[in-house]
Amino acid sequence: MKLLRYGPLGKEKPAILDKDGRLRDLSAIVQDISSATLADGAIAAIARADISGLPVVAGQPRLGACVGNIGKFICIGLNYADHAAESNLPVPAEPILFVKVNSAICGPNDPIRIPRGSTKTDWEVELGVVIGKPGKYIAEPDALSHVAGYCVVNDVSERDYQISRGGTWDKGKGCDTFGPIGPWLVTRDEIPDPQRLKLWLDVDGERRQNGSTETMIFGVAMLVSYVSQFMSLQPGDVISTGTPPGVGMGMKPPRYLEPGNVVDLGIEGLGIQRQEVTVDE
């Protein structure tokens, strides 16, 4: 199933993409696609339902993040060896974890707003893993059973804030609009192997990233297990699993986002995002 949320910011409603590519409102079955409803078995309830009679959503509404009320937005750094190389950093011996603040989360097609003073706003297409079943100290062979599904994430990053402004990476990762998620939460049954997904990103129609989850240093099952050794995982948590090479920081010379750019990105089977780049007021 491809689950999504549509409507104005803060007033999103749940929906499903039917076999004909139409959005059908799920409000009669679940209140939302969110941390609370995932904990209450929303996916199972939707799977049991006959959606053919549900209302078709007219027009092309705004899409929100495909999961509402996300508890934790956990990111993995340098999880592709060739991305580590272009960043002039060693391949990590263990996964690098950081947290992206929830106020960065936005819809998949909402604008990216370059923050005040930014000179190096960058892009990163990533596979997002949405937790569906709680757990801690999860064994790697059991890890995928805790996954509700997968989605596209753009881990937008301000490199000057991230690298040159002191402290950890958080300053460059948590600006408003720096966490587009969606368009869909694609349930686990539709993605039999998350390590065989192509992912890509374009800026103004020029291909910048073109990779595959096959080349991850640490795979999805290992990451879910690893993160759970340090913090409990709850329904609605999102793990963003790192980016392949082709980010602006790694280009020669480096190239960064500017107002007026359009960013398109997608992952095989998980949909496409499109963001216009503006300036934060």
Phi, psi torsion values for 188, nearest 5 degrees: -55, -35
What's the gap between Cα 108 and its chain centre? 9
pLDDT bucket at 78, cuts 50 / 70 / 90 = confident
Name the pLDDT band for 84 (thresholds 50, 70, 90): confident
Contact (CB, 8 A) for 280 and 260: no
| Cα(35)–Cα(235) distance, integer angstroms | 5
Residue 8: per-residue pLDDT: 97
Question: Which residue type, as a one-letter code, is found at position 151?
Answer: C
Give the mean pLDDT of 92-111: 96
The model's pTM: 0.96
CA–CA separation, 148 and 133 (whole Å): 7
Contact 89, 78 (CB under 8 A): yes
pLDDT-derived band at 63 (thresholds 50, 70, 90) equals: very high
Judge whether 93 and 163 are in contact, CB under 8 Å: no
- Which domains are assigned to the chain? 2-53 (no CATH), 73-279 (3.90.850.10)
Structure tokens at 28: 């009669």
pLDDT of residue 169: 86
CA triple 45-32-20, angle to 5 deg: 70
pLDDT in tens, 244-276: 999 999 999 999 999 999 999 999 999 999 999
| Whole-number average pLDDT of the chain | 96
